[in-house]
Structure 1
Amino acid sequence: MKIGFIGYRNHAKRLMALVDQLAFRKEFIIYYPDSRKLSASFSGEGLKAKIELTSVLRPLYDTDVVFIASPARTHFHYLDLLRKNFKGYIFCEKPPCSNLKELNALAAFNPRFKSRCLFNFCFRHSLFSKACSSAIKSGKHGTPISLSFRNSHGLAFKESFSSNWRNTSRGVLENILGNLGIHYVDLTAHLLGKVKNITAHSVKISGRTRHKDSVILIIETGSALPTTIFLSYACPHEDSAKLVLSDGIIELDNGVLSLRRPRDTFDKSGLFAPPPADVIATFANARSYYDDAIKGSISDFFKVIKASSGIPLSNFASSINSTRLLLVNKGN
């Protein structure tokens, strides 16, 4: 299978490594507009796939699949070109675009194109998402009451942050609100249903930060208490998620996923006590946990290709909706 990649560093390389693990023969055609930079900087070490480098987009039109892993501000440009010149499947990193004008244009693309395009909101494929979806659907652990997320690290205090794209961009979808927050907005809608309102509050903590480096999102869905999301590039590392139900708690804590139940757990004095925890899965760290989620997203994508079926249009629509929510709720 011929697989094109738009982008070659960082997350693009991460996607290549994960796709390379799939059990079929593949050829990677890697595109970057600066041929000198691509040739000098790219290393295919560790990849089993046959590799071709190109600074011309045309060869990607003859592939079976194209992965878009370039900067967010370029996503719409490449999607529009592929819509006009490419007949295969597209795996595009989130966000789908960078502004409302582009988003409205994407929403108007024809259904045939939409059924060939998957946006990588991979948190939907995470084990936390699957555990929560199962619990909510079955009702086995009661009614969902509260959903919350916390994701932070100290990037904003590193010297390199001054020139990092997460810091220099003014676009809402490239700063902390969009780069991280969009995943949690999408997952909240996936688990609890249609989002009715978002409130965002942000603050600048680090002296290296140009705009804002910490944010709290409050999301109202109507099916539980408002979801709270804390994100920061300016504090100690934390990666956690928690769904509290009336008879159980599903919790992710730095790569460890557990279920605590039942509610009616008592100590020797007959007082309520924390329920015992059953560990569902353990990962070495948060990075490996999210790699597993990306693998799930990629795996489902290639299942669609193998079956020669279309990607459900609801997937495209939900991706557009999650992006729109952030573009119209930029926070303070």
Structure 2
Amino acid sequence: MTTALIRVACLGAGYFSRFHYEAWRRMNNVELVGAADISIDRAASTGLPAFSSLAMMLEAVIPDILDIITTPPTHLEVIRTALQEGVKTIICQKPFCQSLEEAQTAVALAESAGALLIVHENFRFQPWYRCMAQAIKEGLVGTVQQFEFRLRPGDGQGADAYLERQPYFREMPRLLIHETGVHFADVFLYLLGMPDGVYADLRRINPSIKGEDAGYFIFEYANGCRAIFDGNRHLDHAAENLRMTMGEALLEGDRGSLSLTGDGTIKYRKFGSRELTILLPGSGSQSFGGDCVLALQNHVVAGLQTGSLIENQARDYIAVMNLEEIIYRSAAEHRKYNVETFVR
């Protein structure tokens, strides 16, 4: 039996959108049916039927999936518009909406319309974290006691930091965590579950930008495990492509440990041994994050076609946004917060 193609339309044709379009084109069960952008020239550059607004595109075609690849200030209204026009599956880039309140409104609107709303949180789909999850599931590391990720993209130095690739970073009042660290909050949830406590310390090093560009947060778990994000956009790590993994990680359990290096290699060392076993070889892919955009999109389409559970549904992602808020509150007040009792 032949499975019908999933029709996908995209809103947005800016910097990161090229990874979305490129991934959709590589999927043989997908048909791209349109691109919309406030710049009709950018939309036309995709080679798809081009529109200058979402409304105009939805007048021409109602896709099976609308892929929103725009900035947070647009999210709530375009989600509202898409739902009103009958779109039943929406993938929305992160940061998701402008606030927790807007995100909750978007979730309520989608559920009222009987639609599926998914956040494009792609780091958990990077192959090294899927490998780590499998190793934990198989008991290779035993009980996890600590996981640390050191973010070192090396792109934050100097008066012209971020200008070449993502200049809007410079004006964001919340940068390190809101734009990047939130990925790792989600990775920690994916690998270890919801923490009980959160402590954070954030700072701004580069005076040419508005938001924080260095700091750390710690997730504490009831079983004694700790997950540590240590981020500094001024420093680098040993990798040909600093954006492949954006840093290095070490996950340690009572039976063994897993290490992630900048080329995407996962090495396993059994407790008490010096021998290293490669569980995942380094990635030669030049696509973003080990092709995690393609992995996420494949995951969503497979879920629609087979009925399997789809990760990153917006209702679940509210928990990640709440953790982000706790991180900022902890850093501002120099205190640890209990997640269960946190009231925003």
Counterpart of 1:283, as a letter, is: S
Distance 1:313 1:254 in 2: 26
2:25 matches 1:20: yes
Change (3 A) 1:207 1:29: same
Q: 1:146 to 1:15 in 2, by over 3 A?
A: same
> Aligned to 1:318, what secondary structure does the other structure show?
helix
Specify whether residues 236 and 251 from structure 1 end up closer, same or farther in structure 2 by C-alpha distance, changes over 3 A only.
Answer: same
- Structure 2 match to 1:283: 283
Residue aligning to 2:72: 72
Structure 1 pair 310–245 and aligned structure 2 pair: CA distance change class (3 A): closer
* Structure 1 SS opposite 2:265: strand
- Which moved further from structure 2: 182-191 or 120-129? 120-129
Matched, 1:177 2:180: no
| Structure 1: runs of 5+ lacking an equivalent | 45-49, 266-273
Contact 2:55 2:81 in 1 (8 A): no
1:43 positional shift: 2.6
Question: Which moves more between the two structures, 291-300 or 77-86?
Answer: 77-86
Deviations 1:86-135 (A, max 9, x none): 33321111222121321332343453657522212222222222222223
Measured against aligned partners, the alpha-carbon deviations of 1:182-219 in whole angstroms (never above 9, x if no partner) come to 11111111111112222221112223222321121111
How does 1:152-167 map onto structure 2 within 5 Å? 152-161=152-161, 164-167=167-170
Q: Tell which deviates more after alignment, 109-118 or 24-33.
A: 109-118
In structure 1, how many angstroms separate the alpha carbons of the residues matched to 2:95 and 2:252? 29
1:1-332 pair list within 5 angstroms: 1-24=6-29, 26-33=31-38, 37-39=39-41, 43-44=45-46, 51-61=48-58, 62-109=62-109, 111=111, 116-161=116-161, 164-170=167-173, 172=174, 175-237=175-237, 239-265=247-273, 274-284=274-284, 288=287, 290-307=289-306, 309=307, 312=310, 315-330=313-328, 331-332=331-332
Which amino acid in 2 is paired with 1:293? C
- Conserved 8 A contact 2:9-2:67: yes
Contact 2:88 2:115 in 1 (8 A): no
Q: Which amino acid in the other structure matches residue 161 of structure 2? A: F
CA distance in 1, matches of 2:318, 2:265: 29
Give me the whole-angstrom Cα distance separating, in 2, the residues matched to 1:288 and 1:200: 32
Q: Secondary structure at the match of 1:306?
A: helix
Q: TM-score, normalised by structure 1?
A: 0.83
Give the CA RMSD over aligned residues. 2.6
Structure 1, 101-110 or 244-253: larger mean CA deviation: 101-110
Query: Equivalent pairs: percent with the same residue?
Result: 15
Moved more, 311-320 or 221-230: 311-320
Query: Which residue number in structure 1 is paired with residue 337 of structure 2?
Result: none
Report if aligned partners of 1:192, 1:224 keep a CA contact under 8 Å in 2.
no
Q: Is the 8 A contact 2:72 2:97 kept in 1?
A: yes
8 Å CA contact 1:162–1:209 kept in 2: the answer is no
Is the alpha carbon distance of 1:132 and 1:314 closer, same or farther for their aligned partners in structure 2, counting shifts above 3 Å? Answer: same
Alignment-mate amino acid for residue 10 of structure 1: Y
CA distance in 2, matches of 1:85, 1:311: 25
What letter matches 1:253 in structure 2? T
Alpha-carbon distance change, 155 to 323 in structure 1, aligned in 2, over 3 angstroms: same
Which amino acid in 2 is paired with 1:225?
Answer: C
Distance in 2 separating the partners of 1:234 and 1:17: 30
**Following the alignment from structure 1 to structure 2, what is the Cα–Cα distance between the partners of residues 109 and 262?**
49
Equivalent residues of 2:148, 2:229 under 8 A apart: yes
Deviates more, 1:132-141 or 1:7-16: 132-141
Change (3 A) 1:323 1:201: same
- Count of matched residue pairs: 311
| CA spacing shift, 1:329–1:278, aligned 2, 3 Å | closer
In the aligned structure 2, how far is the partner of 1:112 from the partner of 1:299? Answer: 26
1:198 partner SS = strand
Q: 5+ residue gaps in structure 2? A: 1-5, 238-245, 333-344
Q: CA deviation at 1:291?
A: 3.9
- Give, in angstroms, the shift of residue 40 of structure 1: 6.1
Question: How far apart are residue 15 of structure 1 and its match?
Answer: 0.6
